[in-house]
Structure formats: C-alpha cells, structure tokens
C-alpha cells in the first residue's frame, strides 16, 4: 500500500484536513539544541515548498518560542491552505504550584518565557489557547490538543475536555484532540465521546506498537483519527549508530540492538531505516497522519524524501521473518 504523504485526509468528521506528513515543531523551539529564528523559519519554508501543510506546535516548546517562530513563518501564507495545531494544559507562567519537572524544562536550549506549568482548569485551558493565538498571530487554530494530562486525569475529564468541546462549539477551533506518550489514558479519553482525534507519540513505531492493544482499535471503532508522533522514538530509529536516544533518554542495549538489526535489513534493500520508520504507521487504517520533527531546511527535505521513497514489500516480509515485526501488523 503506497501512501501519498501530501494526500489530504479529514480528522474525524470535522472538515479539518491534514496532509499525511506533518511537521512537528518541537525542534524549532530549541529542543536539546538552539536553532535560531532564521533557521526555524527556513525549516518551515522548506517544508512548505515541498508540500507539507500540517504543522503542530505547543506552548511547552521553548516556553512559547516554537509558537512565535511558527507564526512568523506561517502568517505570510494563505490561511486556508494549511492546518495548524497547538496544545493546552501547560501554560507559560512565572510560577505555579504544579511546575514542570526539571527533566522536561531542561530539554529546551532556547526559551521565550519564564516557565511552563500544568493547568487543566477551564479558565486555564481558555487562557492558554488565547495566549497561544497571540504568540502565533492568528485568530484560531484548526486543532487543539489536550497536552499530557497523565497525572491530571480527573481534571482533564471534568474540566479541560468540556472546555475544549465548548471552544469547538463556539467555532473557536475546528477539531479537538488529546496528545500523550501513552495509549491507555488516551483510550479512556477517546471513550468520553468528545474527541475528534488523538496524538499518540512513540507508542506506534517500528520499536513499540503498544498502541495496537487498546487505542488504535478503539479509535477506528469510533471514527477518531489518530495522528502518530515520535516515529523515530527520539532518534534511535533515525540512525541507531549515530543516535542512541529512545523516548528522550539513553536507549538500552536491547533497544539499540533491535534498531540496528532493523537498519541492517533495510540496508539490504537500499532503504534508510528512517524511511521505513516514517512510513510504517500510515498503513494502519486508523492513522490519518504522522508528525516528524524538523529543525532545519535539510531535515525538512530529508523527511519529505523519506516519506516519498518507494519501499519494496520484500523488506516488510524480511522484518517479519526476522521476528522484528509481527506479521499480523499492517504494513505499507
């Protein structure tokens, strides 16, 4: 099954469409290393030139820096020709009783604000969204995700999600979603009946298909669109000899060995591992799009090339025969 990375697909029944390949904007917020305004805008410009029309940001990314840079690059484009998503549940603030842990705040080499804190209250969601629009310089986003409510489930369900639904009812946002690095709670949130889509990061990749156990089947039954992020699992699936980071931490020797075994099989077919990692999730019928982080024009160009690269069916068979991929899992 060959997937067109620039095909437009609808999220749920909302009328909001996304290209199958989207640009994740965490890197341009200074994730792990500084980027600079000029390079950040150049990355978005190159992705646009090549056909990407779906962009995903958040207040967390550089404490607003990603949103500011995204707005600077996208405001010059015709608004109807792209889809932009941001997130709520983390709000830029000088202080809070529920601050982000150091392992999160320490990930950003550049920041535009004093700090970020959790806030899943109704007022917090609405204020966060308003502040995001100010940074973006837009009057609305197409998608609004609830961002990582792992330790705040009760408030997410009783306050945050109803407020997202109210914003959708008012026409202030086109589709509502939730984004997490786990599938179990996302499945519970999907069962509320309020969501149009979900953003699942790192749990439907060549190394980790745990989202198949609960979330993807549930979303398919309910007509909820799945957006998959973290297709490189923080880098180990991009190049397991150069980058051995998995889920933002040093990868175990077992994970690195598995990724390298996959890479060797890919090399036999003349396919970079990152092409297989990027294209793999799109074969599942519940998956609408994948997000790939791009911090430069070169990374944008590479992501598009990997999305377009033909992959022989024999590669997927070899991965299954080597017990590196379950033969029952859908593949492109």
What positions carry a catalytic annotation? 61
| Among candidate residues 206, 159, 149, the one with its CA nearest the CA of residue 182 | 149
141, two tokens: 């986003």
Alpha carbon distance 143, 83 (integer Å):
8
User: Which residues on neighbouring strands pair with residue 46, listed in sequence order?
Assistant: none
162, two tokens: 């109803």
| Among candidate residues 214, 250, 291, the one with its CA nearest the CA of residue 26 | 291
Distances (CA, A) of 124 to 93, 115, 132, 145, 151: 11, 15, 12, 14, 16
Q: What is the DSSP string of 200-214?
A: EESSSSSS--GGGGT
Alpha carbon distance 291, 155 (integer Å):
27
- A 10 A CB-CB count for 222 gives 15
């Amino acid at each position: 099954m060959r997937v067109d990375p620039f095909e437009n697909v609808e999220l749920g029944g909302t009328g909001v469409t996304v290209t199958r390949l989207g640009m994740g904007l965490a890197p341009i917020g200074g994730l792990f290393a500084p980027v600079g305004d000029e390079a950040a805008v150049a990355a978005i410009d190159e992705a646009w030139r090549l056909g990407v029309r779906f962009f995903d940001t958040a207040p967390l990314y550089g404490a607003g820096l990603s949103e500011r840079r995204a707005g600077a690059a996208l405001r010059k484009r015709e608004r109807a020709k792209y889809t932009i998503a941001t997130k709520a549940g983390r709000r830029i603030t000088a202080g809070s009783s529920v601050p982000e842990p150091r392992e999160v705040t320490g990930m950003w080499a550049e920041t535009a604000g004093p700090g970020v804190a959790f806030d899943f209250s109704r007022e917090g969601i609405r204020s966060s969204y308003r502040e995001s629009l100010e940074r973006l310089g837009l009057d609305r986003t197409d998608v609004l995700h609830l961002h990582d409510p792992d330790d705040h489930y009760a408030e997410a369900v009783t306050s945050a999600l109803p407020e997202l639904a109210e914003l959708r009812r008012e026409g202030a946002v086109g589709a509502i979603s939730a984004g997490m690095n786990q599938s179990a709670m996302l499945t519970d949130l999907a069962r509320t009946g309020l969501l149009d889509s979900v953003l699942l990061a790192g749990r439907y990749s060549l190394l980790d298909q745990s989202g198949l156990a609960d979330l993807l089947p549930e979303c398919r039954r309910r007509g909820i669109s799945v957006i998959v992020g973290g297709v490189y699992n923080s880098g180990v699936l991009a190049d397991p000899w150069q980058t051995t980071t998995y889920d933002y931490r040093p990868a175990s020797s077992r994970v690195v060995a598995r990724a390298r075994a996959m890479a060797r099989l890919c090399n036999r077919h003349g396919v970079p591992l990152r092409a297989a990692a990027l294209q793999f999730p799109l074969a599942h019928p519940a998956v609408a799009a994948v997000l790939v982080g791009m911090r430069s024009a070169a990374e944008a160009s590479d992501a598009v090339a990997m999305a377009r690269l033909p992959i022989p069916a024999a590669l997927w068979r070899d991965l299954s025969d080597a017990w590196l991929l379950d033969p029952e899992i859908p593949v492109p």
